[in-house]
Amino acid sequence: MTSRRHFLAGLAAASMTPLGGWAAVGAPDYLAAALFPDGSYRLAGLSAEGDILFTLPLPARGHAAAAHPQRAQAVAFARRPGTFALVIDCATGAQTARLDAPEDRHFYGHGVFSADGATLYTTENDYEAGQGVIGVWNTGDYARLGEFPSGGIGPHDMRLMPDGQTLVVANGGIETHPETGRTKLNLPVMRPNLTYLDHSGAVIEQMELPRALHRNSIRHLAVRPDGLVAFALQWQGDKTRHPPLLGLHRPGTAPRLLTAPEREQSTLQGYAGSIAFASDGKTVAITCPRGNALHQFDVETGNLTAAYSLTDVCGIGSAEQGFVFTTGTGAVGEITEGAHIMARAKCHWDNHLIPIRTLA
Amino acid sequence: MRPLFLALALALPLPATAQDSAAILTDVVEAHVLPGYARLSETTATLAATAQAGCDPASPDLRAAFHGAFDDWILVSHLRFGPSERDDRAFALAFWPDTKGFTPKALSGLISTSDPVVESPKAFAETSIAGRGFFALEMMLFDPAFADQGQAPYRCALIRAITTDIDRNAKAIAEDWQPFAEHVTHSGGNSPYRSENEALQELYKALSTGLQFTSETRLGRPLGTFDRPRPKRAEARRSARSLRHVELSLITLRDLAMRLSADHPAIAADMDGAFDNAIARAQALNDPAFAGVANPLGRLRIEALQQSINDIRQIAANDLGPTLGISAGFNALDGD
């Protein structure tokens, strides 16, 4: 699959970044899971131009992935309530390890490596207790080291803060149990939060939205290099209301909620799927697959600066300039001055697009 | 401001065959939704009045009024949009599942302090939704643990407060449906639905999530796993209504499905047959509180009932939805 052009582009990219492990496979810039026409679920490595550099099979539908900070290694997570995560050597295409959730736990689909790459953290459901936990794994042999509470119910996305020490977890607040599928069990009493934890699991800070927004599930995260956290929301309340679906939080301060004007906001069906900062950090964007829209905001003013109509758009990541996005219809595109499609694959790109290095 | 991306900005798919969406919307609202909520507010009024007349938990009159109103709630409980979601009315009518045991905690909290909040309907409406509605009332009428908690006069006042609150919520939903009906039948303008297709999607979603809830939650929760069945998680098991809820929900969901598929006789016939099968299985089960999940034979029959509901879900998702012109993308459908 890897063409000479991509290989050279990969080499060029690799020469600019000290990530030797990734260079060998043509230095993919992004990872994304997808459903392919033959019915297989696969993890794909993508170039910055949106071309598929490699694909690797997954046993079932994937969700997100985490890229190791140094090794050419990725962990692909099963879609909730899956119980597997695969460690994949992206240089050889081989599965090198498999993580199985312990008894009475399942994965939520997201995870993050520690700064030194020695530890992997995974968001999990302790479903008998109805509480979120963070699983801790040794990345040498991918043995489970332990777990600690996530600080809420339904932890979903999780990121490492720029200090390399603090984990930030989006506790979506929604209780589910594998015996009742994806049925939401606690909507009237849900209380999502953003929890900052240290490596031992000690809670450093928790942020909750105002009471009137307790049905706004905090699900996905992006972190700017200066520590500003952006979160994407999924509204579980009265659908005749159209609350904000994007928030910004700096530890120790109150959150800021960003919204499009009502006319635009009301088309989003209360659902944001992914979030990213542009590489310059000045803009932040959410994808809204139910409203078929990508909304871009100015971080400073909080104003909507662009709204693109894109069918089933969901994956988004920062690019050298602006953003790269993926859609459930197989498109990979970029947002710079405007939006344009760079590549189309015969697959359904799944929820998330994972940048494997910080493009500065 | 909005650079339209024409290459990708696909219009919503058109229905595969001709259908009169306006007629379907009017029919569902006028023959399914409005009469359902009107019936509910009549039987909740009877329930509240009966509790005023006599609040003995064992009173046959009170229990009959409880069953009658609860039946009518189940018959509309899939219509979870618009007026039912305002001020959390639907959740205040039926807080279930209660995975953390909030309902007994809320009730015990009120009883142990003889909280005077029960004297004022307005104040009671501000208390935890877990301590209100049909499931709180069921606990007060049927759970031995609450038969002698606190003092009898307070328990009586609490039962009356719960029934009054149920009636207030049912009335508020029914009243709000009068103006809201127009929003569903006349999309655009002030309506939250921008098109007939969006309004139709809402009704289709009521069908599909109603089926999902009955299969995954009403049956899935007590089923648990083979090694760990959960009979005590059956819905309304104290009043032995678990199976009845499944049956009533299937009957009302069939009514909705038939109206939605009015212009597509082949699909309507398939759905009708699948509903027949599921309802017949429910009626033959003779296991009102799903105690049978814990023994192999009983379990098999409840699993077969669940499968027959999943068969209906398949037809709804594969045939009815696309034919109505309702389709959602790979990510839009995922919800994560």
- Give the nearest partner residue to A308 out of B5, B88, B334, using CB atoms: B5
pLDDT over 90 (residue A92): no
Each residue's pLDDT tens digit, A98-126? 999 999 999 999 999 999 999 999 999 99
Q: What is the pLDDT of residue B18?
A: 63
- Mutation target among A238, A286, A297, A332 for the B interface, most CBs of B within 10 A: A238
- pLDDT above 90 as % of chain B: 89
pLDDT over 90 (residue A346): yes
- Mutation target among A175, A183, A184 for the B interface, most CBs of B within 10 A: A183
For residue B330, give how far its alpha carbon lies from the nearest alpha carbon of chain A (Å): 5
pLDDT over 70 (residue A7): no
More confident residue, A2 or A336: A336
Is the CB of residue B81 less than 8 Å away from at least one CB of chain A? yes
Is the CB of residue B328 less than 8 Å away from at least one CB of chain A? yes
pLDDT over 50 (residue A11): no
- Domain ranges for chain A, please list them: 4-263
Mean of all residue pLDDT scores within chain B: 93
Which domains are assigned to chain B?
21-185 (1.20.1420.20), 196-326 (1.20.120)
- What is the value of pTM for the model shown? 0.89
pLDDT over 90 (residue A97): yes
Q: What is the pLDDT of residue A94?
A: 78
Superfamily of domain A4-263: YVTN repeat-like/Quinoprotein amine dehydrogenase (2.130.10.10)
Mean pLDDT for the stretch of residues B270-291: 98
Is the CB of residue A239 less than 8 Å away from at least one CB of chain B? yes
Q: What is the pLDDT of residue A14?
A: 35
Burial A195-222 (b: 16+ CB within 10 A, else e): bbbeeebeebeebbbeeebbbbbbbbbb
- pLDDT above 90 as % of chain A: 82
pLDDT over 60 (residue A359): no
Residue of A nearest to B83 (CA): A238
Q: How confident is the model at residue A170 (pLDDT cuts 50, 70, 90)?
A: very high
Each residue's pLDDT tens digit, B88-103? 999 999 999 999 999 9
Mean pLDDT for the stretch of residues A213-219: 97
Q: Tell me whether residues B2 and A185 touch, CB distance under 8 A.
A: no
Q: Tell me whether residues A309 and B97 touch, CB distance under 8 A.
A: no
Q: Give the ipTM.
A: 0.87
Is the CB of residue B217 less than 8 Å away from at least one CB of chain A? yes
Q: Using an 8 Å CB-CB cutoff, list chain A residues near B82.
A: 240
pLDDT over 80 (residue A20): no
pLDDT over 70 (residue A76): yes
Each residue's pLDDT tens digit, A61-73? 999 999 999 888 9
pLDDT over 80 (residue A301): yes
Q: Tell me which residues of chain A, numbers 145 to 164, contact chain B at a CB-CB cutoff of 8 Å.
A: 156
Q: How confident is the model at residue B17 (pLDDT cuts 50, 70, 90)?
A: low
Mean pLDDT for the stretch of residues A68-80: 92
Mean pLDDT for the stretch of residues A321-346: 95
Q: What is the pLDDT of residue B11?
A: 38
Residue of B nearest to A217 (CA): B336
How far is it, in rounded angstroms, from Cα B143 to Cα A49?
64
Q: What is the pLDDT of residue A72?
A: 87
Is the CB of residue B332 less than 8 Å away from at least one CB of chain A? yes
Least confident of A278-282, B12-16, B32-36: B12-16
Is the CB of residue A125 less than 8 Å away from at least one CB of chain B? no
CA of A158: how far to CAs of A104, A108, A136, B83, in Å?
Answer: 21, 10, 13, 36
For residue A338, give how far its alpha carbon lies from the nearest alpha carbon of chain B (Å): 7
Residue of B nearest to A220 (CA): B336
Q: What is the pLDDT of residue A81?
A: 92
Residue of A nearest to B87 (CA): A238
